[in-house]
Amino acid sequence: MTSKHVIATTHTGSIKNRFARRFLRSLLKVKRSDRLGTGTGFQSNEEIRKRNAQRIKTAAYRSMARVVGPRKNWSRALLFKLRYPARIQGAGLRKRCLVSKKKRVLRKENKVQVISREPSRADNLRKLVPGGDSMDICSLLDETAHYIKCLATQVKVMESIADLYSE
């Protein structure tokens, strides 16, 4: 079999392959910027390692979200968060309050009773999935399943890349 035939038979359109290509390109950019000496001043090895770990993590999330594209809420939310980190952390945007976190007041026969309940499982899930705070439960479960699948793909690709570099 020739190499052209091998390339033609592999499924190049899969999420795993597209993510791997995009992630490797991002890693090359990180490596190139390190060689150019983007850091200013004197930095310890620990600071450099933390910065590079953060850049690799960001590259992995950005690559996965870009491969999925805008058709999923979690990828749009993640890309927005990566593009505008100051807005998320600062004063620009406020998170929506979830109904289950609010205290409700029930009035029965002139008695005021305050009911406070703990966050439900769906509320906890909304915190984990990017963009999940604005979804109904059906959409949230669909997005969560897709997000988990993509994270599993991300782990497999990163493990295979690590295996290539460790040999």
Question: How far is it, in rounded angstroms, from Cα 126 to Cα 97?
Answer: 12
Cα–Cα distances (Å) from 55 to 22, 32, 48, in that order, read: 14, 12, 10
In this prediction the pTM is 0.67
Task: Report the 10 Å Cβ neighbour count for 2.
Answer: 7
Per-residue pLDDT reduced to its tens digit, 59-84: 999 999 999 988 899 999 999 998 88
Strand locations in 53-162 (E): 104-108, 111-115
The token pair that represents 63 in the structure block: 């690559």
Per-residue pLDDT reduced to its tens digit, 91-145: 444 445 444 444 455 555 556 666 667 788 889 999 999 999 888 999 999 999 9
